[in-house]
Amino acid sequence: MTDDLLIIGGGPVGATLALALKNYGLRVTVLEARHPATGARDARTLALSEGSRLILGRLGVWSRLAPYATPIETIHISQRGRLGRAMLRAEEEGQEALGYVLPYAELGAALDDALAAAEDIRVEFGVRATALETSDDAATVTVEQNGATKKFSARLAVIADGGRSLDALPGMKRETREYGHTALVGHVECELPHNNIAYERFTPQGPVALLPEGATGYALVWTATPDEAARLAQLPEAQFLAELHKHFGDRVGAFRAIAGRATFPLRLVTLRPVTAPHVVAIGNAAQTLHPVAGQGFNLGLRDAWQLALIARETAAESVGGAEMLRRYQSGRRVDTGGGIFFTDFLARVFANDWPGWGAARGAGLALLELCAPARHFVSRKMSFGAKG
């Protein structure tokens, strides 16, 4: 039997799409490479925008997640060794928070349970997609599952969090731009309470972010050259904390502990176009962004939500057709393009020491602090995307 939608990847983006289609009369199958409960061991941390919280609320899972989420009420933006700083505040926007810091494992578990409870959504675990082909009326995905080869067909194949094993996608080209930096992540405990303040501090080596997580700690994202990040990851704890304090400064007091150090390379990856006949890519499969300003994951959730809204309005026999895909690509162009431009701009302009640029950046931050409409504009875009 041919499904209406076949979602390759059951992570947060793919699960969001599937749950947003629940009870709308569409045949939906999710193909997920991991086995059940594997996601519970994932130690990553996510920065959720206010817009993403609203989406998760509409899916009925936010009430379960709220106890694990740390609100970001203020964002403090500065550059090391230069004048100028800006503060974005949730109260100025009439919001309880500008965003939230949430353990990936909790989000994954909540979405997995919601999928399991949805009677009209089929989830196949332990599935590795190996090939994708299209015809005039459907897409067919070849997979490996439990040592056997199978085929699944649908009017629309959606490449979400998964699909990394697909070497080539029909009519689509992946472009990669290396930033030449690596992100070191982990959880740090500090001397002073975080008071729900997130710090984004720009240095000539790249940005360093501290996002409030839990009662007294922060999720750390420290950008460095690949060699430097590798060195930092291997340092004894006391030496690492001393170097972090020297790099970041005194705003949160002494750093007392670090856990879960890991590194990953930073690059901008885009797929052009994101649609082909009976195929669409969303989330990280469509674009992978620099983590500055925390836009990538939230952009992926908005991809999923927008696609679900269009699928709901489309007759089942027209799902995956040219008009539906045109509507999706047109509707996402501004938000996706704006998110890519914004993060790429920050990563390039604030991560260098060109003569005169430090003073210009400081002046820009000072103007942002002084201009309420500008702060409102930036806060809205960070909370709800380029169309917010």
Q: Give a yes or no: residue 60 inside a domain.
A: yes
d(CA 303, CA 65): 21
**219 in the same domain as 261:** yes
How many Å separate Cα 25 from the centre of its chain? 29
User: 198 in a domain, yes or no?
Assistant: yes
Is-contact 47 99, C-beta < 8 A?
yes
Q: Distance (Å, rounded) from C-alpha 327 to C-alpha 16?
A: 19
Say yes or no: 38 and 11 in one domain.
yes
Shared domain for 330 and 376, answered yes or no, is no
The CATH number of the domain holding residue 259 is 3.30.9.10
Q: Residue 213 in contact with residue 45, Cβ under 8 Å? A: yes
Residues 116 and 223 in one domain: no
The reply to whether 312 and 290 lie within a common domain is: yes
pLDDT at res. 223: 93
83 and 220 both lie in a single domain: yes
Alpha carbons 319 and 315: distance in angstroms, whole number: 7
Flag whether 229 is in a domain: yes
213 inside domain = yes
DSSP 90: G
Asked if residue 55 lies in contact with residue 385, where contact means CB atoms within 8 angstroms, the answer is: no
- Entry pTM: 0.93
Scanning 29-100, the segments in alpha helix (DSSP H) are 50-58, 62-65
What CA–CA distance (Å, rounded) separates 102 from 53?
A: 11
If asked whether residues 315 and 187 sit together in one domain, one would say no
pLDDT at 37: 58
The answer to whether residue 74 sits within a structural domain is no
Q: Quick one: 34 and 18 in the same domain?
A: yes
How many CA atoms does the CB half-sphere of 243 hold within 13 Å? 15
- State how far the Cα of 144 lies from the Cα of 124, in Å rounded to an integer: 11
Predicted pLDDT of residue 1: 59
Nearest to 156 by CA among 347, 379, 308: 308
Helix axes 372-384, 50-58, angle to 10 degrees: 40
Question: What's the domain count of the chain?
Answer: 2
240/145 same-domain check? no
**Pairing between strand 279-281 and 217-224?**
unpaired
What pLDDT score does 363 carry?
A: 84
| Largest Cα–Cα separation, the chain | 63
Q: How high is the mean pLDDT in each 10-residue block of the chain (388 residues)?
A: 90 97 96 74 86 96 97 92 85 95 94 95 93 92 92 96 66 88 95 94 86 93 95 97 93 93 93 93 92 88 98 95 96 92 81 66 85 92 81
Sign, Cα dihedral of 104, 105, 107, 108: positive
- Tell me the C-alpha distance between 190 and 260, whole Å: 15
- 114 plus 28 within the same structural domain: yes
Domain housing 222: 79-99+179-266+352-384
Question: Are 166 and 225 contained in the same domain?
Answer: no
**Do residues 139 and 250 both lie within one domain?**
no
Residue 15 lies in a domain: yes
* CA dihedral for 155, 160, 166, 168, sign (positive or negative): positive
The CATH number of whichever domain residue 313 belongs to comes to 3.50.50.60
